[in-house]
Amino acid sequence: MFQTAMLTEGCRLHVLPTRKFKTVTCKVFIQHQLGSEATETALVPQIIARGSRRLPTMQHIASHLADLYGARFGAGVLKLGEYQLIDYYFEIADGSYLGQNGEKLLRQGMDALAELITQPRVEGSGFYKPFVEQEVSNLRNQIRSIIDNKRSYALKRFIEIMFEGEPFAIYKYGRLEGLDTVSDSELLTHYRSLLAQNPIEIFVVGNIDHGALHRQWQNAIGELRNGFRPLSIDARSHTPKELKTVVEQEQLRQGILFLGYRVPITYSSPDYYKLLVYSGVLGGFPHAKLFRNVREKASLAYYVFARVDGNKGFLMINAGIPPSRYNEALEIILQEVDALDAGSVTSWELEQTKRGLVNSFLTMEDSAISIIDRGIVEATQDVRRKAEDVIEAIKAVTVEDLVEIGEQLQLDTIYFLQGEEGENAFQGGMD
């Protein structure tokens, strides 16, 4: 469990001192609501990663990180439900393994991270212009080339269709529209207001001293804070009016199928672990209904699974299938959902799923990044669970609970990205 302390209003430090890992892992999240500023918010971390006041180019940053025994730094955005978060990652070796003063190395590392985050390279009243221009162009390329990874592209289309009109439909990198008119000074103003006013969560896991970290981050971030502004997130669950079925065509050989179900349950709900077990029995494991019937029995797919999004509150099923066998695959999937909803679950299926979920939960507790990722979900959803309570909640789920969950699930969207079977979709190349 993290020890949490308030650095300033709206800005918290969560630390987990442990000798389990040979590195210290840190993540800093700046929260914002997913909305009209999504593109600007997505741009910021890309610009931040280009250079700071003391480390003015990527080359300077990389060189400094190499000197810190190969410390690692990353900057990106994350979408959790209706939240968009700037997500800074930093990891540094525990110096005691390298014959170094561990405290000193960590302090230097945290200094570097704080410098990168809070002291961007500026020019006049804005970010350094060449960085902005180039990162606008990179972001444009990034949004355009989602199509190059067909599975990510299909997922993005599915989300856009199912959640049309809701903030959640917005892509985590924002939109192409408006990218041309981004100004370096507005962008800097935007970032400064995020740093000053928005909720910030700092997580550190490893061989660390709480007090020293607290002082260091309070110095680094304290004076930037001014006028905390809590976010107002609309997390209401929507009910589907009618089933949407959308089929789209692309140049690909395997069809990609998605089914999306609405459910008024999120990570903070008491029923969350019932939903998790439901999803696990349906398609969370190789012993699950979907894997067994769509893959092993019908030989229709290499991958087929169900997954819960506990931040937004929905369940999705995803499979890669031959384009001509859409109806067959859909029929089997719906049959398996119906069977589960009717309570047709053996005690073997239920027990194996619960064991599998407990096993993967405990395994995730062995990874600093997974521990932090659970921490930020809990921070945004304002709930905190002990590991024992999670395991208890999973173990307590019954078949009746699954039936109850089935009653709450409503099929909202079926999306199929269809390929062209039979013909070779590719030209040229070598034989």
Partner 1 sequence: MGISTKIKPLGAVKSEVLQEEYHHAKTSSGLDMYVMPKSGYNEKYAMFATRYGAIDTDFMLDDKSGAASTPPGVAHFLEHKLFENPKGNVFDEFAGLGASVNAYTGYTLTSYLFSTTDNFLQCLALLLDFVMTPYFTPESVEKERGIIAQEITMFEDEPGHRVFTNLMNAVYHVNNVREKIAGTTASIGRITPEVLYACHQAFYHPKNMVLFVVGEVEPGEVFQLAEKQLGKTAAQKAEENSSPVVRRIHKAEPFSVKAQSVEMAMAVARPLCYLGFKDNCLQNGNELLKRQLIGSLALQILFGKTSALYSYLYENGLIDLGFGVHYTAERNFAHAVVGGSTDDPEKFAASILKGLQKAREKGIEREEFTKQKRKSIGGFLYAFNALDFIASNFISIHFKGSSLFSYLDMMQEITLDDVEGYLHSQLIEDNLAISTVIPM
Q: Is 329 helix (H, G, I), strand (E, B) or coil?
A: helix
Comparing CB distances to partner 1, the nearer of 10 and 280 is 280
Comparing CB distances to partner 1, the nearer of 238 and 287 is 287
- Contacts of partner 1 in 329-358 (CB under 8 A): 348, 352, 355-356, 358
- Contacts of partner 1 in 129-188 (CB under 8 A): 130, 134, 137-138, 141-142, 144-150
Tell me: does residue 54 bind partner 1 (CB under 8 A). no
Comparing CB distances to partner 1, the nearer of 270 and 429 is 429
Binding mask 228-267 for partner 1 (x = CB under 8 A): ----------------------xxxxx-------------
Binding mask 111-130 for partner 1 (x = CB under 8 A): -------------------x
325-328: which pairs have CB atoms within 8 A and are 24 or more residues apart?
325/300, 326/255, 326/257, 326/416, 326/418, 328/298, 328/300
Comparing CB distances to partner 1, the nearer of 111 and 166 is 111
Residue from 1, 58, 243, 342 that binds partner 1 (CB under 8 A)?
A: 58
- Contacts of partner 1 in 67-86 (CB under 8 A): 67-72
Q: Give which of 343, 357, 355, 349 is closest to 400, Cα–Cα.
A: 343
- Contacts of partner 1 in 387-426 (CB under 8 A): 419, 425-426
Q: For residues 135 and 182, what is the distance between their CA atoms, to the nearest angstrom? A: 11
Residues 6+ apart with CB under 8 A from 116: 48, 49, 52, 55, 61, 73, 75, 88
Residue from 87, 94, 271, 341 that binds partner 1 (CB under 8 A)?
A: 94
Contact 101, 111 (CB under 8 A): no
Please compute, for residue 133, the number of CA atoms within 13 A of its CA located in the half-sphere on the CB side: 3
Tell me: does residue 62 bind partner 1 (CB under 8 A). yes
Backbone φ and ψ for 233, nearest 5 degrees, come out as: -100, 130
Q: Which residues is 305 bridged to in the sheet?
A: 318
Comparing CB distances to partner 1, the nearer of 227 and 429 is 429
Q: Which residues is 418 bridged to in the sheet?
A: 249
Contact 105, 69 (CB under 8 A): yes
Residue from 21, 89, 171, 228 that binds partner 1 (CB under 8 A)?
A: 21
Q: For residues 383 and 81, what is the distance between their CA atoms, to the nearest angstrom? A: 15
Tell me: does residue 373 bind partner 1 (CB under 8 A). no
Tell me: does residue 320 bind partner 1 (CB under 8 A). yes
Residue from 66, 176, 212, 247 that binds partner 1 (CB under 8 A)?
A: 66
Beta carbon of residue 50, minimum distance to partner 1 (angstroms, whole number): 9
Tell me: does residue 428 bind partner 1 (CB under 8 A). yes
Contact 9, 228 (CB under 8 A): yes
Q: For residues 185 and 223, what is the distance between their CA atoms, to the nearest angstrom? A: 21
- Contacts of partner 1 in 279-318 (CB under 8 A): 285-287, 291, 295-296, 299-303
Beta carbon of residue 178, minimum distance to partner 1 (angstroms, whole number): 19
Residue with structure tokens 């979920």?
357
Q: Is 365 helix (H, G, I), strand (E, B) or coil?
A: coil
Which two structure tokens, joined as six digits, stand for 392? 């208890």
Q: Give which of 173, 151, 166 is closest to 314, Cα–Cα.
A: 166
Comparing CB distances to partner 1, the nearer of 215 and 355 is 355
Residue from 35, 359, 392, 400 that binds partner 1 (CB under 8 A)?
A: 359
Comparing CB distances to partner 1, the nearer of 58 and 212 is 58
Residues 6+ apart with CB under 8 A from 108: 68
Comparing CB distances to partner 1, the nearer of 77 and 263 is 77
Q: Give which of 415, 409, 414, 239 is closest to 338, Cα–Cα.
A: 409
Comparing CB distances to partner 1, the nearer of 71 and 114 is 71
Beta carbon of residue 292, minimum distance to partner 1 (angstroms, whole number): 8
Q: For residues 30 and 84, what is the distance between their CA atoms, to the nearest angstrom? A: 9
Residue from 14, 16, 23, 340 that binds partner 1 (CB under 8 A)?
A: 23
Whole-angstrom Cα Rg for the chain = 23
